[in-house]
A and B are shown apart, each in its own frame.
Chain A
Amino acid sequence: MPKRTDLSSIMIIGAGPIVIGQACEFDYSGAQACKALKAEGYRVILVNSNPATIMTDPGLADATYVEPITPEMVEKIIAREKPDALLPTMGGQTALNTAMKLAASGALERHGVELIGAKADVIDRAEDRLKFRDAMAEIGIESPRSAIAHTMDEARAALALSGLPAVIRPSFTLGGTGGGIAYNREEFEQIVAGGLEASPTTEVLIEESVLGWKEFEMEVVRDSADNCIIVCSIENVDPMGIHTGDSVTVAPALTLTDKEFQRMRDASIACLRKIGVDTGGSNVQFAVNPADGRMVVIEMNPRVSRSSALASKATGFPIAKIAAKLAVGYTLDELANDITRVTPASFEPTIDYVVVKIPRFTFEKFPGTPALLTTSMKSVGEAMAIGRCFAEALQKGLRSMETGLHGLDPVEPPGDGGADAFRAVLSEPRPDRLLMAAQALRAGLSVEDVHGATKFDPWFLRELARIVEAEQAVAATGLPAHPAALRRLKALGFSDIQLARIADVPTADVAALRERLGVHPVYKRIDTCAAEFAAATPYMYSTYEGGFGDPVCESDPTDKRKIVILGGGPNRIGQGIEFDYCCVHAAYALREAGFETIMVNCNPETVSTDYDTSDRLYFEPLTAEDVIALVRREQQRGTLLGCIVQYGGQTPLKLSQALEKAGIPILGTSADAIDLAEDRERFQQLLHRLGLLQPENGTARSADEAEAIAERIGYPVVIRPSYVLGGRAMEIVYDRAGLHRYMREAVRVSGDNPVLIDRYLNDAIEVDVDCIADGESVYVAGVMEHIEEAGIHSGDSACALPPYTLPPAMVTELKAETEAMAKALGVVGLMNVQYAIKDDTIYVLEVNPRASRTVPFVAKATGVAVAKVGALVMAGRRLTEFALDDEAVAAHVAVKEAVFPFARFPNVDTILGPEMRSTGEVMGLDLSFERAFAKSQLGAGIKLPESGTVFLSIRDADKKGLPALARRLTDMGFAIMATRGTAARIREAGLPVTVVNKVLEGRPHCVDAILSGEVQLVINTASGPQSIADSFAIRRSALTHGVPHYTTMAGARAATHAMAALRAGTLEVAPLQSYFRGSF
């Protein structure tokens, strides 16, 4: 069937900010969908509040709305654009839920918009657990025994059917928020209560536990002619009970016979047909009882997903692109397989390698929540690795994580290191369970023993045992002297660093031995067809192959002028999609400029690892060994101009020394300049020379030194380890006791690295500046004024571009200082500076000679393709060659707001601080600061009230600003409720206020008021451990009850301005293209 001609414009809803459960994968899928539909000649209308996405680049859609994804705002866009159709399957749960609400409200019908890809009734059938279970029963597919409950009484009745342990799954929540497994009655009631609360429909499913069963996923694609294909099967190494996003997974499934596999395939396809997914990709999850093969269906997602992104990267089959084309009427046989270019998309990819995906966690940032995995997703990112066998893929995956692992490294044994201690710790679903399983094998536990405790399939455990045995052989007899034997060892995925540790020799010796014996990795291609057809697309992974002969390398480097772009690896807090955006832009710009672009990355969620983003793609860990090996291969032909290390965040930047040492050229800012900016002492000298100020500071290498420095500077101080991103372990310390406690923890965190101590600038305004420099001239791309004061991590602060309170002279001075530093450092490419302004004095907090988190925001706010220009400058172009207007003044304001994962981490305080904890960001764009800020809040999921009661509890240090704030609120007609001290100050100002008890003052208290819905907005500032602990319940209850809350005065002030704007008139929508001309 050819494409539909009755449609001319199609709307796509993106996934919004990066949150746990919805990361870059939806930018990958959405960008593919935009490109595919635009290429088909449709007018594409996109809405996504996340500026750090490729899909919101103005060239990808005809009208790009960086607006909050709420049903109201999306309806406004629909009213303005009148699309013929809405494709809701590309933007995760956000898009599906929004589309469902638009359907339910009649908005789609009102504006004559057709849902394509998945109709409302289909989405409903797939998402509503009861309807789904019934539908599956009708076609003879078993589900775990279960019942739906809307109340606690119904839940108790359901328990009789399910038994304990029981799984509680709230309906319509993202990534299983609010769900869990109950092992006893008390836990059961607790989780049910939370689940009912979390579910927008107050509905939970209570079901039979299939804990410990094997978990599988099938990625299915169906077209309008009912052609169905399985793109990929995925097997979870972690058994049922752990969210698939938190599980180590393998593709393809490895422990199914064909009979069982086909049974699952048949069931998957039957499931799509029954649910009624007419076109597109879906993911169906199954649990299998390892004892007897009983198979139950767990759930299905009638949309592209994290797993479909993984399946696309694992096979080379671009599910989202194909799904978009199927949605407009094409059938699979009418579409080509991009990789072979000679076969159609109507086939099932087959692979001749093994893919392992490993999640990355950040429990350390959320103390209070135990590091245990459940059915609610907690991981913030993932790495994928490809090898010719499971062991190779696994070890490559582990070193891709960038968590300090070089492979299946040893971990600290539990307790006394005895078998019982191992069994106990292995029976808990901890994030490091796989490593602990290997450690148990090292300690002599049997595979059966470890299987009993973990329920990991024995097949995977025996592979771990194989790695452990190889380790033990090396430890006993040293490294093999024969090339084939060394190759076989490397083929198990061992890195040189690992082998060096095991053999107790310097790492350089292992590399030298490999060099001497000629043992290098070869590169094989991902071709969708196990080499049945020749691959036209150079999408590659490394392997040592093993075996006996010389393996064949298929990388076939070209004779072109080439540039290698090193990506950012797995997402984590502090390093996410923003850096991938920069890498992708580098690839686009350099390809356009005629260079061959070579991308290296290991994050399956990203656009950078799409095979058509760059000319050549190496899906490889970002370690020195892996990168140098592939660069060497590329250097064998053509001319390598250099590597770009400054776009992928800290990950590639950390490789710059190793690359330089290997004689591999680095494009742009030199490794030495990078070191200069990061070396405290060298940098201080530079600032001194330039006559710039820093907060008083010092570098301490011991607890004693730290204490001396803090005493000299005076408390409070900001303290942090050197060389970290995202403010890991960064804290404001108020006294000596706090310093001692910190030193105990920080030393553990940062190893031998020194800690940096700065004077904490109270109430200072923080400013971020991004610039591009070519070694001679400097272009300041954006000056962003933070909403929250200095001391709150810049990644967690909201900010405005242009600055909303700074006088022009101050902005000019900031630009001048930035220029001076960029020139002094010899920056070629991008640079970011963070400043604090206190009492009209500018202090330099930090300089990063690399792309920053704010680059995409600046680009979207100003219309200047910052990352592209930076990349071209690195490749030798001059800034003067670009039409960059330093003095351009835009009529609009852009506000960036951070989005936090607190809801997923019970018992974690939401108070903002110097350690970054946000996972993503949104942008609000409008003609005034107030409206832009209001949009940013709405985009971040914060619905500001227009009337009602505001609860205030303000620390003493902030009380001078309190009267003005209270007056604004009163003037807008809000009632004010406050704790005693705060209320007294408000009353002094002559404003009406109701006093409410603090939690410690007895009930009813302020938390009761929040819980009973009496409060519509919470403003609570606190400092000092005691005050923070006392007010914890206020913030947490506001969070769990969806009451907007601000923990800084600056944030609260901005919110009141936004509320005023909201009351003054409704928010309007406008596409990016109306703010700027041209594509960037």
Chain B
Amino acid sequence: MHVDDIIDRLGGLDAAARLTGVGTEAVRKWRQARGIPARHWPAVIAATGLSIDDLQGDAVPAPAVHDPARAPDGATAALVLADGSVFWGKGFGAHTDAPAPVGEVCFNTGMTGYQETLTDPSYAGQIITFTFPHIGNVGANPEDVEAGFVAARGLVVKQDVTEPSNWRAMTDLPDWLRHRGIPGIAGVDTRALTVRIRDGGAPSGVLAFPANGRFDIPALVEQAAAWPGLEGMDLAKDVTCRQTYEWDRTRWSWPEGAGKVSAPRHHVVAVDYGAKHNILRCLASAGCRVTVVPATATAEDILRHKPDGVFLSNGPGDPAATGAYAVAPIRAVMDAGIPLFGICLGHQLLALALGGRTYKLARGHRGANQPVKDLTTGKVEITSQNHGFAVDETSLPAGVTPTHVSLFDGSNEGLACADRPVFSVQYHPEASPGPSDSRYLFERFVGMMGG
């Protein structure tokens, strides 16, 4: 019998208290506990005529303890972290084979543009947690991609992915991922995971979505723990183009979609460390013919195209590792006096080439709402960012000026050389996804090439 009913039979709160010789507060506690302590049973039985069975109350069973290795009902995927914690969820996208993909678990706070984010090569080696709960609403289309492949190793979302609703959608997100071999997990308390990444740093994790539904959790933990992490890892060479190619497509616009550059006025060689297509589109829209060269291109490989300007792209991994081969050609380009513009990893490599240092941020910047102040104008740009490493401003030599700073944590967001047409930014002026506030930088670059 429900404790409230028993109390009612006793004549209410006050009467029950009187009868059993306790305070009304105690009776309230019975309600909370959904039971009456056994020492009062004789008095209650005498007063109500109820039986002992009636007084047993709704016994509160101990919460079910899950065998951590066994998937709970309905769970078909798991995100397993190096410290042994397991986030169960429903898998979507591609099933994983053993060994399941392993990577650094990061979070991205953007509310739109998951397709662009997933195809950003800078996410190589990472599993992306989207903080916005509904991901997949607008499906997938062939235009909103930043590379021909998905570099991220998986994605973690809160809600089950829904059918898309958007006039541009060609397919749904799970289907799109399946065709690209990328697993996703839904049903995770992504906010709790985000707080954990924020406070404890980005952990290594494995995203398992096995077709057979079997999980060897200890093995997955071991796999995550054994993963060396991004520090010291050169991932650019995994995502760069294999050979040189020409780019002529311009930015998306409504209703035409992407166009083609006509009568380009400048020729830019873009070094592809994992370039987002929108950088190339922005260059084309600014009137440039773009020749894209692999990350490993030598100075000669670059200079033989006789570029009006050289662009250093974004990309994944530790700049120090990529710098091992990228710095020399960058120095050669600078020495040749060719205008040079770098973004993200390109910014970090430029800093290294100038003699500066980079370091891993305690908290990476990943989102489309990051404020950056242009120190020359005092203006604030809302920027799209995706980086876990940063340039150590104190390491920059004389003649190199920090030009932009993050208003979130004060870290360096841009630099320029005083004596050469060379500048770079840590953030993503090409956006996609994210705001277009910083697109003027492409014009600035073009301006350096002679208007």
A residues adjacent to B (C-beta < 8 A): 225-230, 252-263, 265-266, 290-295, 331-333, 343-344, 346-354, 388-390, 457-459, 462-463, 482-485, 508, 512, 515-518, 524, 529-534, 545-549, 551-552, 632, 661-663
Given A257-B166, A293-B255, A294-B255, verify A548-B72 contact (CB < 8 Å).
yes
Nearest Cβ distance between residue B66 and chain A, in whole angstroms?
9
Across the interface, do B370 and A388 meet the contact criterion of CB distance under 8 Å? no
Quick one: CB contact mask for B158-176 with A, threshold 8 Å, 1 for yes? 1100111111100000000
A482 touches B166 (CB 8 A): no
Assess the A663–B32 pair: CB atoms within 8 A. Answer: yes
Do A259 and B131 touch across chains, with their CB atoms under 8 A apart? no
Chain B residues closer than 8 Å to A389, beta-carbon distance: 133-134, 158-159
Interface window among B105-113, B259-267, B282-290, B305-313:
B105-113
B403 at the interface (CB under 8 A from A): no
Closest to A349 in B: B369
Interface centre among B60, B189, B194 (most CB of A within 10 A): B189
Residue in A265, A333, A548 whose Cβ sees the most chain B Cβ within 10 Å: A548
Ordered by A's residue number, 18 sampled pairs between the chains whose C-beta atoms are within 8 Å are A255-B165, A257-B144, A257-B166, A258-B113, A265-B436, A291-B167, A350-B132, A350-B368, A352-B190, A388-B159, A482-B64, A482-B73, A515-B60, A529-B109, A531-B191, A549-B87, A552-B192, A663-B28
| CB pair A256 B109 closer than 8 Å | no
Query: Per-residue CB proximity of B234-264 to A under 8 Å, as 1/0?
Result: 0000000000000000001011000000000
Q: Which residue of A lies closest to B113 (CB)?
A: A258
Q: Are B133 and A293 in contact (CB under 8 A)?
A: no
Name the residue in A228, A546, A551, A662 with the highest tally of chain B Cβ atoms < 10 Å from its Cβ.
A546
Are the C-beta atoms of B163 and A551 separated by less than 8 Å? no
Is B201 an interface residue, CB under 8 A from the partner? no
Chain B residue with minimal CB distance to A485? B73
Instruction: Give A868 to B400 CA distance when docked, in angstroms.
Output: 61
Q: Which of B60, B116, B408 contacts A516 (CB 8 A)?
A: B60
Residue tally, chain B, CB below 8 Å to A: 80
Verify B60–A293 contact, CB threshold 8 A: no
Task: Check: B58 CB closer than 8 A to any chain A CB.
Answer: yes
Q: Does B367 contact A (CB under 8 A)?
A: yes
CB distance from A774 to the nearest CB of B (A): 22
The one of B13, B195, B369 that contacts A531, using a Cβ cutoff of 8 Å: B195
> In angstroms, how far is the closest chain A Cβ from the Cβ of B226?
24
Knowing A257-B166, A531-B194, the reply to whether A229 touches B382 (Cβ < 8 A) is: yes
Contact check, B380 vs A333: say whether CB atoms are below 8 A apart: yes
Residues of A within 8 A of B112 (CB): 253, 256-258, 261-262
Q: B4 an interface residue at 8 Å Cβ cutoff?
A: yes
Contact B134 A532 (CB under 8 A): no
Q: Is the CB of B74 within 8 A of A484?
A: yes
* Inter-chain contact A530/B194, CB cutoff 8 Å: yes
| In the complex, B184 has a CB within 8 A of chain A | no
B184-213 residues with Cβ-Cβ distance < 8 A to A are 187-192, 194-195, 198-199
Query: Which of A291, A351, A352 has the most chain B CB atoms inside 10 A of its CB?
Result: A352
CB distance from A264 to the nearest CB of B (A): 10
Give which listed residue, A266, A354, A484, A524, contacts B134 with CB less than 8 A.
A354
CA–CA, A485 and B132, complex, Å: 23
The CA-CA distance from A459 to B87 in the complex, in Å, is 28
Give the shortest distance, in Å, between A347 (CB) and chain B (any CB): 4
Are B168 and A258 touching (Cβ within 8 A)? Answer: no
**Residue from the list A351, A458, A548 in contact with B74, Cβ < 8 A:** A548
Residues of B within 8 A of A225 (CB): 378-380
A389-B133, A516-B58 are known; give 9 further A-B pairs, CB within 8 A. Answer: A253-B112, A254-B137, A260-B168, A292-B167, A348-B368, A350-B367, A548-B72, A552-B192, A663-B31
CB–CB B407/A457 < 8 A: no
Minimum distance in angstroms from A334 CB to a CB of chain B:
10
- Tell which of A259, A484, A508 touches B144, judged by Cβ atoms closer than 8 Å: A259
CA distance A457 to B137 in the complex (A): 11
| Closest-CB distance, A954 to chain B (whole angstroms) | 57
B: which residues have CB within 8 A of A?
A: 2, 4, 13, 27-29, 31-32, 34, 58, 60-61, 63-64, 72-75, 87-89, 107, 109-113, 115-116, 131-134, 137-138, 141, 143-144, 158-159, 162-168, 187-192, 194-195, 198-199, 252, 254-255, 363, 367-371, 373, 378-380, 382, 407-408, 431-437
In angstroms, how far is the closest chain A Cβ from the Cβ of B442? Answer: 15
Of B87, B165, B194, chain A has the most CB atoms within 10 Å of the CB of B165
Q: Which residue of A lies closest to B381 (CB)?
A: A227
Name A's interface SS.
loop
Q: Chain B CB within 10 Å — which of A293, A346, A533, A663 has the most?
A: A663
For B73, what are the chain A residues with a Cβ–Cβ distance below 8 Å? 482, 484-485
Query: Closest CB of chain B to A757's CB: distance in Å?
Result: 32
Question: Bound state CA distance, A294 and B369, in angstroms?
Answer: 26
Shortest CB–CB separation between residue B4 and chain A, in angstroms?
7
- State whether A661 and B166 are in contact (beta carbons under 8 Å apart), knowing that A389-B159, A516-B60, A549-B189 are contacts in the complex: no
A226 CA / B116 CA spacing, docked (Å): 28
Asked if residues A532 and B198 are in contact (CB atoms below 8 Å), the reply is yes
Q: How far is the CB of B392 from chain A (nearest CB, A)?
A: 21
Complex-state Cα separation, A694 to B255, whole angstroms: 73
Question: Within 8 Å CB of A482, what residues of B?
Answer: 64, 73
- Chain B residues with Cβ below 8 Å from A265 are 435-436
Of A262, A353, A458, A516, which one neighbours B434 at CB under 8 angstroms?
A262
CA distance A752 to B89 in the complex (A): 46
- The chain A residue with its CB closest to the CB of B408 is A343
Contact yes or no, B379 A227, CB < 8 A: yes
Given the complex of chains A and B, what is the CA–CA distance between A530 and B193 in angstroms? 11
Residues in B with CB closer than 8 Å to A549 are 87-88, 189
Q: Which of A258, A534, A663 has the most CB of B within 10 A?
A: A258
A929→B362 CA distance, assembly (Å): 68
Separation of A1080 and B144 alpha carbons in the complex (Å): 57
Residues of A within 8 A of B63 (CB): 483, 517-518
Asked if B137 and A515 sit within 8 Å, CB to CB, the answer is no
Measured in the bound complex, the distance between the Cα atoms of B61 and A352 in whole Å is: 34
Residues on the A chain within 8 Å of B2, using CB: 508, 512
Q: Is the beta-carbon distance between A552 and B191 smaller than 8 angstroms?
A: yes
Q: In the bound complex, do residue B138 and residue A255 qualify as a contact, i.e. CB atoms below 8 Å apart?
A: yes
For B13, the chain A residues whose CB sits under 8 A away are 663
Q: Which residues of A contact B89 (CB under 8 A)?
A: 547-548
Q: What's the nearest-Cβ distance from chain A to residue B1, in Å?
A: 11
Contact of B371 with A252 in the complex, beta carbons under 8 Å:
no
Interface centre among A227, A257, A265 (most CB of B within 10 A): A257
Chain B residues closer than 8 Å to A515, beta-carbon distance = 34, 58, 60
Q: A343-B407, A549-B189 are in contact. Are A532 and B144 (CB under 8 A)?
A: no
Q: Which of B88, B194, B252 contacts A259 (CB 8 A)?
A: B252
> Are B431 and A462 touching (Cβ within 8 A)?
no
Contact partners of B143 in chain A: CB under 8 A? 259
Q: How far is the CB of A553 from chain B (nearest CB, A)?
A: 9
Per the bound structure, the CA–CA distance linking A13 and B368 in Å amounts to: 36
- A917 CA to B29 CA in the complex, in Å? 45
Cα-based distance from A530 to B407 in the complex (angstroms): 17
Select A347's contact among B132, B363, B407, B434, beta carbons within 8 Å: B407
Contact partner of A293 (CB less than 8 A), chosen from B167, B187, B194, B431, is: B167
B residues within 8 A CB of A662? 31
Interface residue from B162, B363, B436 paired with A462 (Cβ < 8 Å): B162
Q: Are A226 and B379 in contact (CB under 8 A)?
A: yes
A31 to chain B, nearest CB (A): 27
CB–CB B34/A266 < 8 A: no
Q: How far is the CA of A352 from the CA of B195 in the complex (A)?
A: 12
Closest to B30 in A: A663
Kindly provide the distance from the CB of B101 to the nearest chain A CB, expressed in whole angstroms: 20
Choose one: A230, A331, A545; the contact of B189 (CB below 8 Å).
A545
Q: How many angstroms between the C-alpha atoms of A212 and B437 in the bound complex?
A: 32
Q: Are B132 and A256 in contact (CB-based, < 8 A)? A: no
Q: Tell me the complex Cα distance, A410–B123, Å.
A: 46
Chain A: minimal CB distance from B125 (Å): 21
Closest residue of B by beta carbon distance from A347: B371
Interface pair A257/B138, CB less than 8 Å apart: yes
